Amino acid sequence: MMATARVASTALACLALAACAAPAREPGTVVVASGADLEGMNPLATVHPLSRQVQRHVLFVTLFREDPALAPQPYFARRWSWSADRRGLTIITGAGLRWSDGEPTTARDAAFTIDAARDPATGYARAGELDPVDSVAAPDDTTLFVRFRSPQPVLPPILAELPVAPAHLLRETPRADLRRSAFAHDPVGNGPFLFVSRRAGERWVFARNRDFPAALGGPPAIGRLVIAVVDEPATKFAGLVSGELDVAGIAPGMAPLADGDPTLRALSYPVLFTHALVFNAARPALADARVRRALSLSIDRDRVVSVALAGQGTPARGPVPGAHPFAGAAAGSGYEPVRADSLLDAAGWRRGPDGTRTRDGAPLAFELLCVGSGDNLMEQLVQADLAARGVRVAIRTRELGAFLAEARARPRRFDALVTGIPGDVALGFVGAMFDGRQRGGVLDYADWHTAPLDQRFAAVRAATSAPALRRAWRDVQAQLDREQPVAWLVHARGLQGMTRRLSGVEMDLRGELATVTRWRIAP
């Protein structure tokens, strides 16, 4: 309650300062706040989540696009077929789509993009998802042929998330230099919106592509989309109330303020972002799976959601949120303090006179590494829950750069850490954390290269049908539940405040901008 009151008072103070009228803007313009400047518009060299969304939904097209259930639908690829052995994929692309410089978009652009993305020299962040590709070719302007090394159970989700890049502008750039190409900040697109201008650290402006083909959805309903850089939560809320912003991520405590304003509303939606407590099993105190499971069972996730996230989340039972079609059902990740006590007793950790658990005279204690931000409520709640079970936890905060350096260092220097993990619909982030074949992944916090997990990941790679792939991913989640290398805490939910003048907005696992071409803004 106190945290919510502080947020409210801060927001109201900012509103008093922002009471001036919003500046004049062109009719049909929607302004969306971003907490940081967009990383750039080169789809082969981008990690920032909102930048990737702008690329996928605004400035470029992808071969396929996903529906709300994450099933692939036609987009630039108008139809496709598999060979009998499901190793050959023939895609027929549409015609009539042009780059903003007038050049036609063809299947050769798609072939160039896939080849460049899977080239290690490019450094594409999700190149691992293209490892199954053996070759790609475009014999003509509308035919793309992709050959895989093994049968594919489903269309690789990356084909619905990797925007097609212009071969005629990037082909001559050395792959190792693509990340530094001027194209990132002066892009030529082919999507429903065209790039207009950029002011570094302030805003990006995109305008309706009036020539966007009807077969791909036709021109957007709004005339302009502006991505404005606004980093302070209270400033975002003030911008919403003043009318300077139309859409902005807001803190959970501000949701009642938004819903209480007749001009605003709050929209909560699922996102692929999970908070987790990651263990270093090389530490003797955390080497026993019974101890790790006991620690997980000690955490009241409902309280974490209620207090730390103001209700904007769901308790996590595994790495995959329930909204994902491959989500598994982990049985042992709830709040069971009595069972936690029994497991700690069985592992030899007995309560002493002061309530602290000890074994051979040493206390059950470890340090919890986290990113220093605000009051670290989530970490404090974890600390309190574990203290109730006789476990001593010391919280150690670091700024983000130092945190990442320590989290990824070898040998591991941390005991345990709390981190937020951005996901992807292909679940590649799970493999990056635990599959020994994906060493060096962005999320490679833990060294969990064990035989049971190897077998589960092998089944994922060997799946030859959609049901088999679903079963294999659920088996991976079940094995992680048994070994408990991570105590999954909460699946966050996105929360956006927006003007009530804006309609047609749907947000889900595809992102905030998934339906941007259908948005409408009333005068």
Strands 392-398 and 365-371, how do they pair? parallel
Confidence of residue 80 (pLDDT cuts 50, 70, 90): very high
Phi, psi of 207, deg, nearest 5? -120, 155
Give how far Cα 478 sits from Cα of 76, 112, 327, 474, Å.
37, 39, 10, 6
Per-residue model confidence (pLDDT) at position 24: 62
Q: Has residue 428 got a pLDDT over 60?
A: yes
Domain 1-35+192-263+500-523 bears CATH identifier 3.40.190.10: yes
Confidence of residue 1 (pLDDT cuts 50, 70, 90): very low
The proportion of the chain whose per-residue pLDDT surpasses 90, expressed as a percent, equals 71
> How are strands ordered across the β-sheet holding 357-359?
350-351, 357-359, 362-363
Q: Over the stretch 265-302, which tens digit does the pLDDT of each residue have?
A: 999 998 888 999 999 999 999 999 999 999 999 999 99
Mean pLDDT of 372-383: 87
Q: Over the stretch 107-154, which tens digit does the pLDDT of each residue have?
A: 999 999 999 999 999 999 888 889 999 999 999 999 999 999 999 999
Per-residue model confidence (pLDDT) at position 41: 96
Q: Has residue 443 got a pLDDT over 70?
A: no
Of 179, 479, 122, 512, nearest to 331 (Cα)? Answer: 479
Mean pLDDT of 29-55: 93
Per-residue model confidence (pLDDT) at position 444: 62
Per-residue model confidence (pLDDT) at position 445: 63
Per-residue model confidence (pLDDT) at position 23: 47
Per-residue model confidence (pLDDT) at position 128: 84
CATH class of the domain defined by 270-493:
alpha beta
In CATH terms, are 1-35+192-263+500-523 and 61-176 the same topology?
Answer: no
Per-residue model confidence (pLDDT) at position 437: 62
**Long-range contacts: 114-122, Cβ < 8 Å, 24+?**
114/146, 114/162, 116/44, 116/165, 116/170, 116/175, 116/178, 117/44, 117/162, 119/175, 121/174, 121/175, 121/176, 122/44, 122/45, 122/175, 122/176, 122/178, 122/179
Give residue limits of the domains in the chain.
Answer: 1-35+192-263+500-523, 61-176, 270-493
Least confident stretch, 121-135, 438-452, 479-493 = 438-452
Beta strands in 300-361 (DSSP E): 313-315, 350-351, 357-359
**Long-range contacts: 372-377, Cβ < 8 Å, 24+?**
372/397, 372/398, 372/399, 375/3, 377/3, 377/307, 377/308
- The mean predicted confidence, pLDDT, of the chain is 90
Q: Over the stretch 405-415, which tens digit does the pLDDT of each residue have?
A: 888 888 888 99
SS3 state at 226 = strand
Question: Position of tokens 């605003």?
Answer: 264
Confidence of residue 99 (pLDDT cuts 50, 70, 90): very high
In terms of average pLDDT, the best of 50-64, 249-263, 363-377 is: 50-64
Tokens of 461: 């790679």
55 and 192 Cβ atoms separated by less than 8 Å: no
Instruction: Indicate the fold that domain 61-176 takes in CATH.
Output: Dipeptide-binding Protein; domain 1 (3.90.76)
Strands 486-499 and 247-249, how do they pair? antiparallel
Q: What angle do CA 322, 325, 328 make, to 5 degrees?
A: 55
Tokens of 217: 């959805």
Least confident stretch, 135-139, 188-192, 225-229, 451-455 = 451-455
